[in-house]
Chain A
Amino acid sequence: MYRVYHRIERIAGNVITVQATGVGYRELAQVTSRRGTSLAQVIRIEGGRVDLQVFAGSRGVATDSQVRFLGHTMRVPFSQSLLGRVFTGSGLPRDGGPAIHENPIEIGGPSVNPAKRIIPRHMVRTGIPMIDVFNTLVESQKLPIFSVAGEPYNPLLARIALQAEVDLIILGGMGLKHDDYLFFRDTLEREGALSRSILFIHTAADPVVECLLVPDVCLAVAEQFALQNQRVLVLLTDMTNFSDALKEIAITMEQIPSNRGYPGDLYSQLAARYEKAVDFDTAGSITILAVTTMPGDDVTHPVPDNTGYITEGQFYLRNGRIEPFGSLSRLKQLVNARTREDHRTIMNTMIQLYAGYKETLEKQAMGFRMSDWDRKLLKYGRLFEEKMMDLRVNIPLEPALDLGWRILAECFDPEETAIPTKLIEKFWPKTAVTAAG
């Protein structure tokens, strides 16, 4: 029943070409060579020749290796028994457990009808004030964490995985260092969160094509759980590796690059993954947090740039802190009106004053005399960084807001903050405040 071919015409990069007929676009094939068996996917059909992308790489593939077309596209099993397990990008067990074959689902399925989406309503509490207060994470949101190599983005992701109030965590690792993979696995296990997690891990040592599959596999599984009324949080790290894998394939396929070697459809490719984030009308939701490392700390690099246009905001992780400038949760307005009436005001006022502090710092660095106002800002800025921005701070939203008021009262007079008079009357600490916190 399967069509088998033995004559490979061209091998370039991870792409092989065979003469074949009746092959469907994106169909899977099995390539058997001396090195073993690997899956491959059709990426172009032209005039009787079929280009296939070999998941395990073309190394060791011979011109007479066997290519067997399977008649279906890439699938991944879906069942409750995935929980607590670790797989590769192709869905094979990585943890030594049994392989799972039941209920295969196709990956990269059609997009959700916008008419079946609802406006997100629920905040995802994380216990990190820089997220909860200033850039609230909302269920069904897609947010990247922009960072550079060396920043603690994986520990941050792990902490969110442990603390976030969701039903299920799916972690997708792309080009992950093996140590980092073990770190995630051990942390989740130690804190007892592995049983509500599924890991799909591609490490830097694995074939690059498998890296491309990781987001699709994670999101296909997440989608099925979400349809069963689960609130799923998908953590992806690192999407820049994913984009680089795309670039590698595109160049091999001799596509015209658009910007710094990346293919012209980078935006669409990234969007197809991120747009899987959804809050279903009458079912569960998918929230996506994805690390995107910025080569050279350059936000105008094509990967972070395209990502920023797709996602609903971004977190900047810099110097071990979530930067208040640039970081943005676009959906926060949907939830922070209903948390507490002072939430928005505290959020805006504290950031505006912190911007003032930054300007004062510049002036100070240039040796200008400090006015009274400057001194107040300096005091405020230091308190803010120490009590709020530090990533070790772990307090729920409401105490964090109270802390905000105390910091403001310690540094300023009420009218200097431009807070609406009504809120000042209600929340401004009445008695003289001692050290905040």
Chain B
Amino acid sequence: MSNNVGKVVGVSGNLLIVEFEKPVVQNEVAYAVLGDVRLKSEVIRVRGHYAELQVFEDTTGLREGDRVEFTGELLSAELGPGLLTQVFDGLQNPLPKLAEKCGFFLQRGTYLDPLPRDRAWAFTPVAKPGQTVEAGDTLGTVPEGIFRHRIMVPFALAGEWAVEEIAPAGEYPIEHPVARLRGADGATQTVTMVQRWPVKIPIRAYAERLRPTDPLTTQIRIIDTLFPVARGGTYCIPGPFGAGKTVLQQLTSRYADVDIVIVAACGERAGEVVETLREFPELIDPRTGRSLMERTLIICNTSSMPVAAREASVYTAITIAEYYRQMALNVLLLADSTSRWAQALREMSGRLEEIPGEEAFPAYLESVIAAFYERAGLVRLRDGGVGSVTIGGTVSPAGGNFEEPVTQSTLKVVGAFHGLSRERSDQRRYPAIHPLESWSKYEGVVPAEQVAVARDILQRGNDVNQMMKVVGEEGTSIEDFILYLKAEFFDAVYLQQDAYHPVDAATPPDRQRYVFERLARILRTAMKFETKDAARRFFQRLTQLVKDWNRIERSAPEFAEIERRIEAMVSEVTEYV
């Protein structure tokens, strides 16, 4: 136990003012002692002999004069085998274990080990005695579900170390020493399977950062084809409430082509976490044939949990993501929602009586957001392996207006923007990503020149639609009207996707290429109709047929049959036949 103690002199919400005597460290963890519980908190400002602490728990009952114990350690995450499949709160408390211990409610001041101490792991040594290693190099591996979890030289060790001793293959619990290292200065270091790393500092134990180029497919057509995401890239999904941000995140967590998905539910509804929590163990990952939960890790700080832990939750999540990246794995971090985290910053800033910036957000909001997204990336490790962290963050702009500080700060630092629109969700056009306003700087699964055709039709169709609102249908030429119908058709059968249909919910990349190629051909076809009503009826029928096509497994015989019927329908109206 630490001997650096202070005492409480003020309480306001989750902010404590603490008088101290011995030196304290900015961002170090301290515990406020309230009877027999200890409330975790973090030093966030020091003024004279007073430190201001944000408490990660409810502060009800704290009194003036209560004892505060400083630990001298920064807020850290525990890293080691056994992280996957777990459900943590923002401070890395395993929630199911907490439920076993405390029942229905989250009792404050209860902190459990994130990783089970009694479980044994089958260790296989990789490093040889005498070998020179650096932080992040592999000493051995243990199987963790479907992965080979690397036991690495702790990231905190600077410089070169020689392996003096390494444990033989065998079953060990995580705290059992597996290696002894000797540094250049002769100091020795015992390494176990678990290490701690301060969450607010990026892990940099790699050779170099690379430019993200490979697409990360999500099986959502509008994303993979029109607004793709790259492995190691970043993207954001701003949208008003009810536009389907969370459904989109859930689908992505299910179908994304990555090794590991970390879901950081930050200040959002508990119900949504519960869905993931209860459904994922039942779902089978088509890539591995195992339960989806085996590649998933959930960090949740739902909206009713203490606000300060919200900030901790996104950092804990990104730290764990970086840890698995070091094993040459592709990790996707889904943060829902970064606005809640920004609001937590705002609440704290308000309590600290800092000078507010726009909409009372603190002035450092932008740099904090930028630093967070910069922790994504594609890296080449020292052993030549490649790992990546991709970050997808949702943003919940006040009033659905993208001109607000959080959205704007985020847009500056991400590589793709999936803007959800209230208009499209009101029309039940899901996913409600706006096809004209969104953008992406990455390459997708369909060749760019084909996509350009579709984009052009969408843009011109939209223009016609706008014009028609002024001049009416009768004032529109039939050519323009057909253009409008083509845009609507493409929207209905390709951009929209039924998230609840077993087949339509996920379209693999090769099917996307195949279907898109055919649809692009239809869009390019010049068509002739006698009347606008005839054109509308034709496209209504065609839409229905292609929608039926979307609902059929590609291997089923009907797939080819419907394709033939579509072609037959189109050839009837082609101008040059």
Contact = CB atoms under 8 A, between A and B. Distances in A.
Given A47-B9, A352-B427, A305 B65 contact: no
B102 A265 contact: no
Contact of A275 (B58, B107, B270): B270
Contacts of A21: 64-65
A201 to B, nearest CB: 25
A43 B13 CA distance: 8
Contacts of A387: none
Query: Secondary structure of the B side of the interface?
Result: mixed
A325 interface: yes
B242 A113 contact: no
A255 B350 contact: yes
A120 B63 CA distance: 40
Contact of B95 (A114, A330, A372): A114
Interface stretch (B206-214, B225-233, B540-548): B540-548
Interface stretch (A10-18, A84-92, A170-178, A361-369): A361-369
Interface string B400-427: 1100000000000000000000000011
Contacts of B544: 415, 418, 421
Given A45-B64, A115-B96, A308 B398 contact: no
Contacts of A265: 13, 307, 343, 347, 350
A276 interface: yes
Given A24-B60, A47-B9, A328-B242, A119 B278 contact: yes
Sorting the interface of chain A by its residue count into under 10, 10 to 19, 20 to 34 or 35 or more gives 35 or more
Interface string A303-326: 001101110111000000000011
Contacts of A257: 360
B113 interface: no
A91 B278 CA distance: 38
A113 B104 contact: yes
Interface string B83-113: 0000100000001101100111111100000
A333 B58 CA distance: 35
Nearest to A333: B500
A113 B532 contact: no
Given A112-B104, A116-B104, A259-B398, A25 B548 contact: no
A45 B11 contact: yes
Interface in A246-277: 255-259, 263-265, 267-268, 271-272, 274-276
A299 B300 CA distance: 28
A18 to B, nearest CB: 13
Contacts of B427: 352, 355
B534 to A, nearest CB: 11
A312 B533 contact: no
A22 B64 contact: yes
Closest 8 A/B residue pairs (Cβ): A300-B399, A275-B304, A368-B472, A271-B303, A258-B360, A308-B241, A46-B10, A111-B304
Interface of B: 9-13, 17, 58-65, 87, 95-96, 98-99, 102-108, 240-242, 267, 269-271, 273-275, 277-279, 300, 302-305, 307, 337, 340, 343-344, 346-347, 349-350, 353, 356, 359-360, 396, 398-401, 426-428, 469, 472-474, 500, 532-533, 536-537, 540-541, 543-544, 547-548, 551
17 contacts: A24-B60, A25-B11, A43-B12, A110-B107, A111-B302, A112-B106, A113-B102, A263-B350, A268-B303, A274-B303, A308-B240, A314-B242, A369-B473, A415-B540, A418-B547, A420-B548, A420-B551
